[in-house]
Amino acid sequence: MLNDRQMHMGTLLGNLVRLHEDAVNCFIKDTSYAWVSFNDCITGRGYMMFLPFNKGETVRKMSSAINSFDKKFVVPDNLRAYCDYSTIYVEDIHTGAKEQMTFKEEYDIDFNNIHETVDSVNISNSRIFVQLIKNGDKVPLEKSISL
Q: Are the CB atoms for 37 and 24 separated by under 8 Å?
A: yes
CA distance 44 to 132: 18
Go through the chain and tell me how many residues it has.
Answer: 147
Q: Where are the beta strands (DSSP E) in 4-78?
A: 19-29, 33-40, 46-52, 60-62, 65-66, 73-74
Kindly give the confidence (pLDDT) of every residue in the chain, 147 residues in length, as a single tens digit, with 9 standing for 90 and above: 455 555 556 655 666 677 777 888 999 999 899 999 999 888 888 999 898 988 888 889 999 999 999 999 999 999 999 999 999 999 999 999 999 999 989 999 999 999 999 999 999 999 999 999 999 999 999 999 999
